[in-house]
Amino acid sequence: MGLAQRSWALGCTAIMSVLQMAMAGNPNWMLNGKAQVLADLSAQEIQAVHSFLMSRTELDLQPSDTRALDKNSVLLIETLLPKKKDVLEFLNKETKAPVREARVIVFFSAQEHPNVTEFAVGPLPQPIYMRELSPRPAKHRSWASRPMCKAEQSLLYHKVKEATTPLRELFLHTTGFSLEDCNGQCLTFTHVAPHSVESRHRATWFLLQRIVKEHLLQPTGLEILVDHGSTDVRDWRVVQVWYNGKQYNSPEELAQKYADGEVDTMVLKDLLPKNTELPPIFNKPGGKFPTPLRKSGPHVEQANGSRYSLEGNTVIYKDWSFSFQLRPSSGLHILNVHFRNEYIAYEISVQDAVAVHREKTPAGELTKTMDLGWGLGSVTRELAPGINCPETATFLDVIHYYDTDGPVRYPRALCIFEIPTGMPVRPTFNHFAGKINFFSDVMGHKLVLRATSALYNFDYIWDFIFYSSGMISAKVHATGYVHTTIYTREGLGETHLLTHQLGHSHTHLVHYRVDLDVAGINNSFHTLQTRQKNTTNSSSPRRLVQDIMEKTQYSQERQATFSFGHTLPSFLLFSSPKKDIWGYRRSYRLKIYSTSEQSLTPETQEDLAFSWARYSLAVSKYSDSERYSTSIYNQNHPWDPPVVFEDFLQNNENIDDQDLVAWVTVGFSHGPHSEAVPYMASSRNFVGFLLLPFNFFYITEKNLSTSAADVADTGFLEAGSA
C-alpha cells in the first residue's frame, strides 16, 4: 500500500473514533436538556407573552404596524437571562430550574407624558405576571432616547418629502433626478444618527441623495434637519436647511432665493454608469435560490456527515460544548463555553458597533452611529449556502419579535460549519529521527458559528471560531458601501472619490464582553511583558542583553484598564488559583487584534454613550447589574445615556481571585481610496481577539505524545521511512 493511501485509510478510522468520542458522553452540564435554560424564546413563548400583554387592558396596547405614533405598542420581546449564579447552580447541582422570563419593551405614547418602559414577563411558557425593570441607579430612559420604529421612519420620510415640495425645481435642475415619478432617475432621503442634536431631543438630519446604482447613493449637497419630538405628526417641523455650504431657515426660503437667482447651485454631472447589477439572488427572505450555487474554484466538502452535533441551541464539537443566542437587541453571543468539560467562559457577546464620522457638513459632523440602537440582531440577514457560508454548513432559522405584532421567522440567520484551518497544527517532520511523521488531521480544523447584521450602508459578519487546541476566536468582518457627503471647500483635505463626492476617514469600533471563567469562576488578571535586561554573569565577562518576562499583577479595576490605541502588554492572562503540576496557575491568554490607532478621548458629552471605547481592555468584577456596556437607548439621546460604561469602574473593586469580566474594544479605520468605491471589501476589514490556553492543561512526560494540542484531532500514524 502506498503511503498516501495508507494515511487516508487510517485517517478514516481516526475520524470515526472522534465521532464516537463526541457521541459517547455529552458534557454533564447539558444532560437532560438542561442547556435549554439559555435558549432564545420560541415562537410559542413569544406568542404567549404577546397574548398576555394584549389581555392586560390597562396597557391599552395597539398593533405596531398602524402608521400612528400616539398609541401604546410593544417594541421588543426577547429572553431575559436568569442570574448567572442561578444558572450555574442549576447546571452544576441538582437545584430547580430558574424561572424563565421575557424582556419586554413597551412604548407608552398615548398619554401626555409618553415614556418607554421595560418589563420582565413570566413565568414562561404561561405568563401570569409582569414586573417593571428599572434602569441603573441614578439613570433614566428618556422618551427621546427610544429606538426608531418603522411607523416613525415612514411618517418621517413622508414629512420630509412633503416639506421639500417647494424645492422640486431646484432638485431637477441640479441633479436631473426627482423624488416622485422618477422612473430610474430617483432621489431619496437617508438619515443619520443620533436622532437628536444637543438643543433638540428628537431631531434628525436627512441627506438628499441620487440613487445611482442599486446601492450606491450620491449626495446632492442638500441636508435638512427635522424636529420630530412630538407624538403628533402635525407638530413636526423642518428647523434647518443646508445647501452647498449655506444655511437657510426653511425649504420655502431656499426655494425663493433660488427663484431669485441668489443661490450658488452645484449641478451634478452624470459620470456614473447605468445600473448594470445582476438581479439579487434572493427576491425575498426565505425565498428560493438556485442550489447548488456551484461556481468554479475550490469549495468545501464534508465526508461522512458533520463532526459537530447540535442540540437545540447547544453545540458539541470535539472537546467543545457551548450554547448560543441570537437576540433581536444585541445579536449573537455564546454562553457556557466548556472545553474538555471544564469552564472557559460563561458568556462572550457583542455589545455594540460604533462608527464615528468626522465630516464637514452639518449631518456629517454629527454622525456617530451606535448600531445597537437598531437592534443588532433584528437586522440579521439570510445567509446563502456557498456565498456567506460553505454549502456544507448547517443553517438555522431564528425567531424574533422586534417592531412587529407577532413572532417573525428569520430564515437561515445563523450558520455553523467546520473547515480546514489551511495550516498544519503540528510538526510533520522529525529531524532527529530522520523520519516523516503523518497525522490523520495534521492540517487542523475549526468550527465557525456565524451571523450577520446589515445596517444602512454596512454589513457586519460576526464569527465565533473554535479550534481543537482549546483556542477560541471572536472576529468581526465589515463590508459596505462608502458613505459619502458632498464636496465642500472646507472639505478639501479629504479624498475626492467621485465628482462632487467625498469619502471620509472614519473609525469603526466594536465592543465585546468576555465573561471568562477559566477553570472555574474565580480568576485573577496579570500581564507578562518582555523587557531587555543586561546580564553580566557568565563564564566570560562579556555583557549579555537578554529578554526577560516581567510580571505585573492587577488588583483593582482602575488599574486594569488599557487606553485604546496604546500598545498592550504581550501577554494578558486570566488565571485560576488551581495550579498545574509545575505549580503554574492554569490560565487563558487574551490576544487582541485591532488595527485602529485612533484613540477616542472623551471630547464631548455625547461620547459618554460609548465611554467603553476609551479602553482596548478593561477588567471588572462581575456584577449582575453590569451585563451590558451600553443600551439600545444610548444611540438616540447620547447626551444623557441610561448606561455609561465608565460607571462600572467607579467603585474600583478588588479583582484578585474574583469572577472577572474582560471588556474588549477592537477597531479599524477607513481612509478612503479609489479601491473602496463602490464598496469596501471584507477581506481587509476584520478585527477581533483570541483566547488561548496558557498552562491550562496538565502535561507530564507520560502523556507528552497526546499533548495539549489536538488530542482529539490527531491519530498518530506509524512513521514511514523517509
Residue 35 Cβ vs ligand NAG, minimum distance, rounded to whole Å: 21
Q: Is 532 near ligand NAG (CB under 6 A)?
A: yes
Cα gap 567→623, rounded to integer Å: 28
Of 252, 240, 367, residue with least CA distance to 638: 367
Cα gap 231→228, rounded to integer Å: 8
Task: Tell me whether residue 171 or residue 554 sits nearer to ligand NAG (CB atom).
Answer: 554
Task: Tell me whether residue 340 or residue 496 sits nearer to ligand NAG (CB atom).
Answer: 340
Stretch of 213-221, 317-325, 392-400, 531-539 contacting ligand NAG, by CB under 6 A: 531-539
- Side-chain-side CA neighbours of residue 309 (13 Å): 14
Residue 9 Cβ vs ligand NAG, minimum distance, rounded to whole Å: 9
Q: Is 499 near ligand NAG (CB under 6 A)?
A: no
Residue where the block lists cell 477592537? 666
Residue 406 Cβ vs ligand NAG, minimum distance, rounded to whole Å: 23
Residue 334 Cβ vs ligand NAG, minimum distance, rounded to whole Å: 22
Residue where the block lists cell 436538556? 33
Site string for ligand NAG, 278-297 (x = CB under 6 A): --------------------
DSSP line for 27-76: -GGGGGGGGGGGPPPPHHHHHHHHHHHHH-GGG-B--TTSS-SSSBEEEE
| Residues 31-50 close enough to bind ligand NAG by CB under 6 A | none
DSSP single-letter state for residue 291: S
Q: What are the cell numbers at 521?
A: 469562576
Residue 135 Cβ vs ligand NAG, minimum distance, rounded to whole Å: 9
Q: Is 183 near ligand NAG (CB under 6 A)?
A: no
| Residues 683-702 close enough to bind ligand NAG by CB under 6 A | 697-700
- Asked if 693 and 710 count as a contact pair (C-beta separation under 8 A), the reply is no
Single-letter amino acid, residue 257: K
Q: What are the cell numbers at 451?
A: 451571523
* Number of residues lying near ligand NAG (CB under 6 A): 25
Residue 718 Cβ vs ligand NAG, minimum distance, rounded to whole Å: 20
Residue 700 Cβ vs ligand NAG, minimum distance, rounded to whole Å: 5
Residue 52 Cβ vs ligand NAG, minimum distance, rounded to whole Å: 17
Residue 63 Cβ vs ligand NAG, minimum distance, rounded to whole Å: 18
Cα gap 352→260, rounded to integer Å: 48
Stretch of 91-99, 313-321, 505-513, 519-527 contacting ligand NAG, by CB under 6 A: 519-527
Residue 701 Cβ vs ligand NAG, minimum distance, rounded to whole Å: 9
Task: Tell me whether residue 106 or residue 268 sits nearer to ligand NAG (CB atom).
Answer: 106
Task: Tell me whether residue 128 or residue 545 sits nearer to ligand NAG (CB atom).
Answer: 545
3-state secondary structure 684-715: CCEEEEEEEEECCCCCCCCCCCCCCCCCCCCC
Task: Tell me whether residue 354 or residue 521 sits nearer to ligand NAG (CB atom).
Answer: 521
Residue 300 Cβ vs ligand NAG, minimum distance, rounded to whole Å: 14
Residue 192 Cβ vs ligand NAG, minimum distance, rounded to whole Å: 29
DSSP E strands: which ranges in 67-202?
73-80, 101-108, 115-122, 129-133, 187-191
| Residues 101-120 close enough to bind ligand NAG by CB under 6 A | 108, 111, 115, 117
Q: Which of 4, 138, 278, 303 binds ligand NAG (CB under 6 A)?
A: 303
- Asked if 440 and 11 count as a contact pair (C-beta separation under 8 A), the reply is yes
- Please report which helix (H) or strand (E) contains residue 7, including its range: helix 3-24
Q: What are the cell numbers at 223?
A: 441636508
Task: Tell me whether residue 126 or residue 537 sits nearer to ligand NAG (CB atom).
Answer: 537
Task: Tell me whether residue 304 or residue 683 sits nearer to ligand NAG (CB atom).
Answer: 304
Q: Which of 304, 539, 546, 721 binds ligand NAG (CB under 6 A)?
A: 304
CA distances from 371 to 276, 377, 397, 676 (A): 31, 10, 22, 22
Count of helices and strands (H, E) across the chain: 8, 36
Task: Tell me whether residue 32 or residue 700 sits nearer to ligand NAG (CB atom).
Answer: 700
Alpha helices in 176-266 (DSSP H): 251-259
Q: What are the cell numbers at 466?
A: 473554535
Site string for ligand NAG, 241-280 (x = CB under 6 A): ----------------------------------------
Cα gap 397→412, rounded to integer Å: 5
| Other CB atoms within 10 Å distance of the CB of residue 722 | 10
Q: Which of 312, 657, 682, 709 binds ligand NAG (CB under 6 A)?
A: 657
Q: Which of 521, 666, 676, 692 binds ligand NAG (CB under 6 A)?
A: 521
| Other CB atoms within 10 Å distance of the CB of residue 284 | 9
φ/ψ of residue 249, rounded to 5? -80, -25
Stretch of 204-212, 438-446, 532-540, 584-592 contacting ligand NAG, by CB under 6 A: 532-540
Task: Tell me whether residue 113 or residue 489 sits nearer to ligand NAG (CB atom).
Answer: 113
Q: Is 703 near ligand NAG (CB under 6 A)?
A: yes
CA distances from 248 to 455, 497, 670 (A): 31, 28, 32
Q: Is 133 near ligand NAG (CB under 6 A)?
A: no
Residue 328 Cβ vs ligand NAG, minimum distance, rounded to whole Å: 22
Residue 449 Cβ vs ligand NAG, minimum distance, rounded to whole Å: 25
DSSP single-letter state for residue 403: S
Task: Tell me whether residue 95 or residue 601 sits nearer to ligand NAG (CB atom).
Answer: 95
Stretch of 39-47, 188-196, 529-537, 622-630 contacting ligand NAG, by CB under 6 A: 529-537
Residue 111 Cβ vs ligand NAG, minimum distance, rounded to whole Å: 5
- Asked if 350 and 512 count as a contact pair (C-beta separation under 8 A), the reply is yes
Stretch of 219-227, 321-329, 366-374, 704-712 contacting ligand NAG, by CB under 6 A: 704-712
Q: What are the cell numbers at 507?
A: 473609525
Task: Tell me whether residue 209 or residue 575 sits nearer to ligand NAG (CB atom).
Answer: 575
Task: Tell me whether residue 315 or residue 711 sits nearer to ligand NAG (CB atom).
Answer: 711
Q: Which of 176, 520, 565, 678 binds ligand NAG (CB under 6 A)?
A: 520
CA distances from 20 to 307, 324, 712 (A): 10, 24, 11
- Asked if 346 and 83 count as a contact pair (C-beta separation under 8 A), the reply is no
Residue 55: exposed, middle, or buried by beta-carbon count in 10 A (0-12, 13-18, 19+)?
exposed
Task: Tell me whether residue 92 or residue 249 sits nearer to ligand NAG (CB atom).
Answer: 92
The dihedral through the CA atoms of 133, 139, 140, 142 has a sign that is: negative
- Asked if 124 and 79 count as a contact pair (C-beta separation under 8 A), the reply is no
Residue 470 Cβ vs ligand NAG, minimum distance, rounded to whole Å: 10
| Other CB atoms within 10 Å distance of the CB of residue 10 | 17
Residue 531 Cβ vs ligand NAG, minimum distance, rounded to whole Å: 8
Cα gap 117→105, rounded to integer Å: 6
| Residues 533-592 close enough to bind ligand NAG by CB under 6 A | 534-535, 537, 545
Q: What are the cell numbers at 541?
A: 565577562
Task: Tell me whether residue 129 or residue 698 sits nearer to ligand NAG (CB atom).
Answer: 698
- Asked if 222 and 173 count as a contact pair (C-beta separation under 8 A), the reply is no
Task: Tell me whether residue 337 or residue 519 sits nearer to ligand NAG (CB atom).
Answer: 519
Residues that bind ligand NAG (CB under 6 A): 12, 108, 111, 115, 117, 303-304, 520-522, 532, 534-535, 537, 545, 657-658, 697-700, 703, 706, 708, 711
